[in-house]
Amino acid sequence: MKLLKSAIVTAGVLLLSGCADITKDKETVFVEELLKRMTLEEKIGQMNQVNWNGNYSHVKKGMVGSVLNVTNINELIEMQRCAVEESRLGIPVLISRDVIHGYRTMFPIPLGQAATFNPELVEKGARVAAIEASSDGIRWTFAPMVDISRDARWGRIAESCGEDQYLTSVMGDAMVKGFQGDDLSSPTSIAACVKHFVGYGAAEGGRDYNSTGLTENVLRNVYLKPFESACSAGAATYMTSFNDNDGIPASANEFILRSVLRNEWGFDGVVVSDWGSIAEMVPHGFAENRKSAAMKSVNAGVDMEMESRSYIENIAELVNEKKVSERDIDNSVRNILRLKYRLGLFENPYVDPNSNVVYAPDHLQAAKQAATQATILLKNNNRTLPLNEGRIKSVTITGPMAHAKHDQMGTWSFDGEKEKTVTPLEAIGDMLGDKIKIIYEPGLAYSRDNDKTGINKAVKAAQQTDATIVFVGEEAILSGEAHSLSNLDFVGAQSELISALTATGKPVVMVVMAGRPLTIGNEIDKCDAVLYSFHPGTMGGPALADLIFGKAVPSGKTPVTFPKTVGQIPVYYNHNMTGRPANRNETLMCDIPVEAGQTSLGCTSFYLDSGFDPLYPFGYGLSYTTFEYEGVKLNSVNFGKNDIITAVCTIKNTGDYEADEVVQLYTRDLVGSINRPVRELKGFKRVSLKPGESKEVTFELPVSELAFWNRNMQYAVEEGEFHLWISPNSKSGQPVSFRVD
């Protein structure tokens, strides 16, 4: 076996090297020895990632470093055998796949997982995904996506952790740890790939693949934050984004790839392009042809090209022409070989075809727990929820998402199996089918359905029962990559269905399953209670059934601001303060006198038609109980830059249900060398309280975490006055003041 030969050679090098190499570790010696033996063509082969098409000959020639989307386990094993036993150097192939929010057992989409505000649970979800995917030979996933996402029109907001850099950092770190485990070389670990580097979430107009114009200040203070955090968490790989920023496509941006990622952060892993993004610099107008695109990407520091073949076709010629340095090629290959070594592929390249770990009971339980904690209670008039089986004897279940096995899984569910999805209709039937009367009338066949003939049947059913639960939202295909929208209202005839149901006078509970925040204020106003569940995955049905009927209590919080209308976008809580902030005494459109004077309305920053606030702020979510926050106490009002701020607040459950509350810590730097956000999330804790119980919640915030990149591009804490809140969301609470000197 070639692999054994390579190991023997490496062992010999270790024995002969003596004191001269005593400071080199085994990994370095192994990689350097292998690199010395490689031809230029074999090096270029390692930089080539291809979508699997059954071509074993390229693998045997050592012309493939990584393969995407091998879905047949026997083909995967044969391909790896060709690489290890028939290629000249026996270098194993790295098998990759988009395992975004689950492999077989689908967890809520990442936006939903962020709504849990529970990094331990998010880490568990990534661990489950890694265990299941690695059992099929997959050792590299293209997640987490840590793009800051402030535009709900962008389809990929579904794949994000929302609008806040702190929450995204915490959740992204949790996913990295879950995917990679305690030891990257473990057969159950898969390499995480932090994407998209960088700024992709700010695409103009929310149109996928579009341009961004972020300044270095905004990049460093907002968009780079979660990427840097993931690097500290040990992320093995990064992926460049499709967008150009300030005219430079990410796959050729030396500043972010070399200056920031490599030099500032010390990253020594692999940088891979997104699918075809290198060749796409030609239509960008940044490269004359694919050869030029390959040159610019290699020189910028992209180690591996995903799929478009401009590397494999052009690098050798570029080296011969001295337009690309073989030293840079060596550095890229060194990174790739190092990753394979760390994954243990040289020692254990094969996978057991008989392993069967998918849908394990603890995996399904974790998925249900995630879906439960991810669900947000937006409205609950007159304690409509939970529906008490002792109070109601019959219920109507309706809506296109009530039994949508495929769509409930959400975007990026390549390997999820709809046959394993448990829908709300099934879960409620299993829970209560022998206790109450259940009538199911879908009303609409799917979310975009405009055929209204089924609405009358749903209304007749609602008239016969004590309450109605209508499951609405959007199909999985309407969110995710390349699925941007300019209108965020309900699609199809869903609004008509809701209006007809609420006209019956019976209590209506609306449950929304979607991949993004929707502009559904009118529909929310009509309903008695509203639960929002970003596509909840395999076990979404049992989770929602438990919440609706009181076996669980909602605790999810909005990870993004919900706009009232598309016209409010971009809308996010941690914006800068304008010189003319809105005065809530200003006149809104409906109250403007006829022929009012031009300046009679005041001149502050708000919309005449949609007013001052979004539909729901960041961090918002109700419960079946109520919580009371006492005043915040600090350990001092004056701090030095090396001190730790201790903030304490007592939280009391003043209602009737045992429940979790997500307690949030925010600060504001009142005056800075650049404008600072009106609030910034600095911490959160999930607290469980029984009825009548109080707990003292303590946050310890190092003053160093108040640092930001200032006008001189220095990362520092500035002296001055600050505000601090401990509150249930980003809009509530009273601040306390302190000073940093």
Long-range contacts of 424-428 (CB under 8 A, 24+ apart): 424/397, 424/469, 424/471, 424/511, 424/540, 424/541, 424/544, 424/545, 424/548, 425/397, 425/541, 426/541, 427/541, 427/542, 427/544, 427/545, 428/395, 428/397, 428/469, 428/541, 428/545, 428/548, 428/549
* Residues 532 and 418 grouped into a single domain: yes
Beta strands 694-702 and 644-653 are: antiparallel
Residue 9 has pLDDT above 90, yes or no: no
| Within-domain flag for 145 | no
**712-726 average pLDDT score:** 98
Question: How confident is the model at residue 726, as a pLDDT?
Answer: 98
pLDDT over 60 (residue 12): no
Per-residue pLDDT tens for 74-129?
Answer: 999 999 999 999 999 999 999 999 999 999 999 999 999 999 999 999 999 999 99
- Which CATH number goes with the domain that contains 657? 2.60.40.10
pLDDT band at 388; cut points 50, 70, 90 = confident
Q: Which of 548, 572, 598 is the last residue of a domain?
A: 548
Given the DSSP bridges, would you call strands 508-514 and 467-473 parallel, antiparallel or unpaired? parallel
Q: Are residues 539 and 637 both part of a single domain?
A: no
515, 533, 548 - which closes a domain: 548
Q: Give 614-629 pLDDT, tens digit per residue.
A: 999 999 999 999 999 9
User: Active site includes 183?
Assistant: no
Domain span at residue 726? 627-740
- 440 and 544 inside one domain: yes
In percent, the amount of the chain with pLDDT more than 90 equals 93
Please state whether the peptide bond connecting residue 218 to the residue before it is cis, i.e. omega within 30 degrees of 0. no
Q: List the end-to-end C-alpha distance of the chain, in Å, as a whole number.
A: 66
Q: Are residues 685 and 699 in contact, defined by beta-carbon separation less than 8 angstroms?
A: yes
The CATH number covering residue 404 comes to 3.40.50.1700
Query: Please, what's the largest Cα pairwise distance for the chain?
Result: 93
Q: Quick check: is 584 in a domain?
A: no
Question: Are 409 and 536 contained in the same domain?
Answer: yes
Average pLDDT of the chain, as a whole number = 95
User: CB-based burial of residue 613 (10 Å sphere; 0-12 exposed, 13-18 middle, 19+ buried)?
Assistant: middle
Q: What is the mean pLDDT of residues 378-395?
A: 94
| Least confident among 593-597, 678-682, 699-703 | 593-597
- Establish if 21 belongs to a structural domain: no
Each residue's pLDDT tens digit, 296-348: 999 999 999 999 899 999 999 999 999 999 999 999 999 999 999 999 999 99
Summarised one tens digit per residue, pLDDT across range 638-665 is 999 999 999 999 999 999 999 999 999 9
What is the rounded CA–CA span in Å between residue 314 and residue 547?
57
> Exactly one of 151, 274, 415, 546 is catalytic; which is it?
274
Looking at residues 196-223, what average pLDDT do you find?
98
As for how many domains the chain has, the answer is 2
Instruction: Note the pLDDT tens digit of each residue in 160-192.
Output: 999 999 999 999 999 999 999 999 999 999 999
The two three-digit tokens of residue 596, written as one number: 């009012």
Residues 396 and 542 in one domain: yes
Other CB atoms within a 10 A radius of the CB of residue 627 amount to 16
Does residue 355 carry a pLDDT above 90? no
277 belongs to a structural domain = no
Q: Of 112, 105, 100, which is closest to residue 534 (Cα–Cα)? A: 112
Domain end, chosen from 493, 513, 548, is at: 548
Residue 137 lies in a domain: no
Q: What is the arithmetic mean of pLDDT over 210-235?
A: 98
